[in-house]
Amino acid sequence: MDSSEKNEDELKLDSAWAEYMRRCDEGEKLDRQAFASQFPEIAEQLLGLLEAADALEKMAGPNGSLTSLMSVVRSPVPTPPVGDPLKESTLPVHFDAKLIDEPQGSMDITVGVDVRKQPEVDLTNVPTERSVDTTAPKLPMRFGEYTLEKLLGRGGMGVVYRAKQDHLDRIVAVKMIRSGALASEDEVQRFYAEARSAAKLDHPNIVMVYQCGELAGHHYFSMDYVPGTDLARLIEQGPIDPRHAARYVRDVAKAIDYAHQRGVIHRDLKPANVLIDSEDHVHVTDFGLAKVVGMDSGLTRSGCALGTPSYMSPEQALGRTDQHAATTDVYSLGAILFALLVGKPPFQGSTVVQTMMQVIHRPAPSVRQLRVGMDEDLNTIVAKCLHKQPSKRYQSAADLAAELDRYLSGRPIEARPQTQLQRFYHWALGIPLLGALAGYKVLDPTPGQRLAQRWMIATALLLPLLLALTFGLSNWMEQQLPRKIHIAGGEANGMYHSIGQKLAEKLEGHARREATVHATNGSLENSQLLVTKDCDLALLQASAVISEDISVVAPLYYEAVHLLVPADSPAESLEGLLGGGAKLRIWLGLPQSGNRQAAEMLLATCGLDESKYEAISEGWDALNNPEKVDLAFVVIRAGHQRVRDLIEKKGYRLISIEKATDIALDEPTFRSFDIAADTYFTHEAPPIRTLATTAFLACRTDAPDRLVREALYALYDGGEPIADLMSKDRARHWRGLAYHRAAKEYFDDLEK
Q: Where are the domains of the chain?
A: 3-74, 87-224, 228-437, 484-554+696-751, 557-694
pLDDT at 311: 93
Rounded percentage of the chain residues whose pLDDT exceeds 70: 79
Stretch among 248-252, 320-324, 404-408, 723-727 having the lowest mean pLDDT: 320-324
* Cβ 553 vs Cβ 726: under 8 Å: no
Whether residue 140 is preceded by a cis peptide bond, meaning omega within 30 degrees of 0, is yes
Average confidence (pLDDT) over 493-519:
88
Candidate ranges 179-183, 210-214, 367-371; pick with highest mean pLDDT: 367-371
pLDDT at 155: 66
By the 10 Å C-beta count (0-12 exposed, 13-18 middle, 19+ buried), 144 is classed as buried
Question: Is the Cα torsion angle 508, 511, 512, 516 positive or negative in sign?
Answer: negative
Using alpha carbons, list the distances in angstroms from residue 406 to 308, 350, 458.
Answer: 30, 37, 49
Model confidence at 69, pLDDT cuts 50, 70, 90, reads: very low
The answer on pLDDT for 229 being more than 70 is yes
pLDDT in tens, 600-639: 888 888 888 778 889 998 888 899 999 999 999 999 888 8
The answer on pLDDT for 731 being more than 80 is yes
* Cβ 366 vs Cβ 383: under 8 Å: yes
DSSP string, 334-362: HHHHHHHHHSS-S---SSHHHHHHHHHHS
* Cβ 132 vs Cβ 100: under 8 Å: yes
CATH architecture of the domain with residue range 557-694: 3-Layer(aba) Sandwich (3.40)
Candidate ranges 296-305, 409-418, 719-728; pick with highest mean pLDDT: 409-418
Average confidence (pLDDT) over 258-271:
90
Domain 87-224 has CATH 3.40.190.10: no
Q: Look up residue 680 and give its amino acid.
A: Y
Average confidence (pLDDT) over 669-681:
87
* Cβ 675 vs Cβ 654: under 8 Å: yes
* Cβ 416 vs Cβ 438: under 8 Å: no
* Cβ 181 vs Cβ 93: under 8 Å: yes
CA–CA separation, 390 vs 315, rounded Å? 8
- Selected residue with higher pLDDT from 187 and 623: 623
- CA atoms within 13 Å, Cβ hemisphere of 85: 5
* Cβ 548 vs Cβ 529: under 8 Å: no
CA–CA separation, 188 vs 298, rounded Å? 13
Query: 550 CB contacts (<8 Å, ≥6 apart)?
Result: 527, 530, 531, 540, 698, 699, 700, 701, 738
pLDDT at 377: 92
Stretch among 170-184, 546-560, 657-671 having the lowest mean pLDDT: 170-184
Average confidence (pLDDT) over 123-138:
40
Query: 234 CB contacts (<8 Å, ≥6 apart)?
Result: 240, 271, 276, 340
User: What value does the mean pLDDT of the chain take?
Assistant: 79
**Closest listed residue to residue 286, CA positions, set 238, 252, 323:** 252
CA–CA separation, 702 vs 544, rounded Å? 18
* Cβ 87 vs Cβ 277: under 8 Å: no
Give the helix/strand (H/E) hosting 699: strand 688-700
Question: Active-site residue 645, yes or no?
Answer: no
Model confidence at 183, pLDDT cuts 50, 70, 90, reads: low
**Closest listed residue to residue 554, CA positions, set 737, 749, 752:** 737
pLDDT in tens, 294-303: 554 444 443 3
- Selected residue with higher pLDDT from 193 and 177: 177
How far is C-alpha 582 from the geometric centre of its chain's CA atoms? 42
- Selected residue with higher pLDDT from 165 and 668: 165
DSSP string, 390-407: GGGS-SSHHHHHHHHHHH
Average confidence (pLDDT) over 61-71:
41
DSSP secondary structure letter of residue 722: P
CA–CA separation, 544 vs 523, rounded Å? 6
CA–CA separation, 90 vs 146, rounded Å? 11
The answer on pLDDT for 494 being more than 70 is yes
- Selected residue with higher pLDDT from 421 and 479: 421
Give the helix/strand (H/E) hosting 437: helix 432-437
> Residue 119: how many CB atoms within 10 A of its CB?
14
Quote the strand ranges of 225-370, DSSP E: 228-230, 264-265, 274-277, 282-284, 291-292
Model confidence at 221, pLDDT cuts 50, 70, 90, reads: confident
The answer on pLDDT for 339 being more than 70 is yes
CA–CA separation, 67 vs 135, rounded Å? 9
- Selected residue with higher pLDDT from 551 and 722: 551
- CA atoms within 13 Å, Cβ hemisphere of 648: 11
For the chain, percent helix, then strand, then coil, each to nearest 5?
Answer: 45, 15, 40
φ/ψ of 476, rounded to 5, equals -65, -45
Average confidence (pLDDT) over 134-156:
78
CA–CA separation, 86 vs 599, rounded Å? 71
Candidate ranges 176-190, 213-227, 258-272; pick with highest mean pLDDT: 258-272
The answer on pLDDT for 186 being more than 50 is yes
- CA atoms within 13 Å, Cβ hemisphere of 319: 8
The answer on pLDDT for 708 being more than 90 is yes
Three-state secondary structure call for residue 127:
coil
- Selected residue with higher pLDDT from 58 and 366: 366
Stretch among 74-88, 311-325, 535-549 having the lowest mean pLDDT: 74-88
pLDDT at 136: 52
- Selected residue with higher pLDDT from 526 and 190: 526
The answer on pLDDT for 74 being more than 50 is no
Domains 87-224 and 228-437 share a fold: no
pLDDT at 243: 95
The answer on pLDDT for 7 being more than 70 is no
The answer on pLDDT for 457 being more than 80 is no
Average confidence (pLDDT) over 137-148:
86
Average confidence (pLDDT) over 476-496:
82
Angle at the Cα of 392 from the Cα atoms of 386 and 395, rounded to 5 degrees:
90
DSSP string, 600-614: HHHHHHTT--GGGEE
Three-state secondary structure call for residue 322:
helix
CA–CA separation, 234 vs 223, rounded Å? 24
Model confidence at 85, pLDDT cuts 50, 70, 90, reads: very low
pLDDT at 321: 74
> Residue 287: how many CB atoms within 10 A of its CB?
28
pLDDT at 474: 66
Average confidence (pLDDT) over 268-274:
91
> Residue 405: how many CB atoms within 10 A of its CB?
17
By the 10 Å C-beta count (0-12 exposed, 13-18 middle, 19+ buried), 546 is classed as middle
Helical ranges in 118-184 per DSSP H = none
pLDDT at 405: 94
CATH architecture of the domain with residue range 484-554+696-751: 3-Layer(aba) Sandwich (3.40)
**Closest listed residue to residue 110, CA positions, set 100, 96, 123:** 100
Q: Are strands 550-566 and 631-636 parallel, antiparallel or unpaired?
A: antiparallel
* Cβ 366 vs Cβ 422: under 8 Å: no
Give the helix/strand (H/E) hosting 469: helix 463-478
Instruction: Indicate the fold that domain 228-437 takes in CATH.
Output: Transferase(Phosphotransferase); domain 1 (1.10.510)
Model confidence at 116, pLDDT cuts 50, 70, 90, reads: very low
Q: Look up residue 721 and give its amino acid.
A: P
φ/ψ of 145, rounded to 5, equals -90, 10
pLDDT at 274: 93
Average confidence (pLDDT) over 21-28:
62
* Cβ 588 vs Cβ 617: under 8 Å: yes
DSSP string, 618-649: --GGGGG-GGG-SEEEEEE-TT-HHHHHHHHT
CA–CA separation, 630 vs 752, rounded Å? 51
Average confidence (pLDDT) over 283-293:
77
**Closest listed residue to residue 729, CA positions, set 714, 739, 717:** 717
The answer on pLDDT for 591 being more than 70 is yes
pLDDT at 10: 63
Selected catalytic residue, list 114, 224, 251, 268: 268
DSSP secondary structure letter of residue 91: P
